Chains A and B, each alone.
Chain A
Amino acid sequence: SSELTQDPAVSVALGQTVRITCQGDSLGNYYAGWYQQKPGQAPMLVIYGRNIRPSGIPDRFSGSRSGSTASLTIAGAQAEDEADYYCGSRDSSKNQVIFGGGTKLTVL
């Protein structure tokens, strides 16, 4: 079955820009959703579709796709952005969803 691959950990200086990537064959056919999860909390959708932010998500969050790689960019990272970030998409060959392993973002 398909897989989505994410870097386990990424760090960024406060106020700087960071990109979190997600690679997988399914992303050539389907957009990724990006989910933020803080310790002890449920995940929350931050980006979906081509580059759509749900209501209430700051505009410093954006998404993009190039080939089989999806990216989540945080422009001007804030301390409250420190969290685990997961990408997810439909499996390219099954009616299932696959998730990346998650990226732990540290804001220095």
Chain B
Amino acid sequence: QVQLVESGGGVVQPGRSLRLSCAASGFTFNNYAMHWVRQAPGKGLEWVAVISYDGSNKFYSDSVKGRFTLSRDNSKNTLYLQMNSLRPEDTAVYYCAQDGGLRYFDWSFDHWGQGTLVTVSS
């Protein structure tokens, strides 16, 4: 079955960087766009970014544009989120999620990982 396993979270000071990874299995990774969605403690869901199945298109939320960068390695079935210039308001559980469309953007989230916690604090 589909499995998404995030890693790389932790405690980081404001202004520093962190890279998250999401290891995928159980489906043909290079056929699906992938998203990151985050959830601040006690708050709702916030979409962060999406990358197309082949990595050629990337879209970001206004709150992370210019600071976060998405990439993927289809040979390793892995998704990455490089987070720079981190702010306290970036503190959240970060989930990776599989898009519902086969080689197109469906903008829905068929499967989710269990998430990794990022805490930005001095």
Cβ-based interface call for A61 (8 A) = no
In the complex, what's the smallest C-beta–C-beta distance from B92 to chain A, in angstroms? 13
* 11 further A-B pairs in the complex, CB-CB below 8 A; given A48-B108, A86-B44: A30-B107, A42-B113, A42-B114, A42-B115, A43-B95, A45-B111, A96-B61, A96-B62, A97-B37, A100-B44, A102-B45
Is A88 a contact partner of B47 (Cβ separation < 8 A)? yes
Is B115 a contact partner of A86 (Cβ separation < 8 A)? no
| Chain A residues whose C-beta falls within 8 Å of the C-beta of B44 in the assembled complex | 86, 99-102
Partner of A43, one of B50, B61, B109: B109
Is A98 a contact partner of B47 (Cβ separation < 8 A)? yes
Interface size on B, residues (CB 8 A): 24
Bound-state Cα–Cα, A88 to B35, Å: 13
Q: Which A residues contact B (CB, under 8 angstroms)? A: 1, 30, 33, 35, 37, 42-45, 48-49, 54, 86, 88-90, 94-102
In the complex, what's the smallest C-beta–C-beta distance from A10 to chain B, in angstroms? 15
In the complex, what's the smallest C-beta–C-beta distance from A107 to chain B, in angstroms? 21
Is B108 a contact partner of A45 (Cβ separation < 8 A)? yes
Is B59 a contact partner of A95 (Cβ separation < 8 A)? yes
| Chain A residues whose C-beta falls within 8 Å of the C-beta of B109 in the assembled complex | 33, 35, 43, 45, 88
Bound-state Cα–Cα, A45 to B2, Å: 13
In the complex, what's the smallest C-beta–C-beta distance from B4 to chain A, in angstroms? 9
Bound-state Cα–Cα, A95 to B100, Å: 15
Most A CB contacts (10 A, CB to CB) among B108, B109, B114 go to B108
| Chain B residues whose C-beta falls within 8 Å of the C-beta of A35 in the assembled complex | 45, 109
Least CB separation from A89: chain B residue: B107
Cβ-based interface call for B73 (8 A) = no
Is B62 a contact partner of A97 (Cβ separation < 8 A)? no
Most B CB contacts (10 A, CB to CB) among A33, A35, A95, A96 go to A96
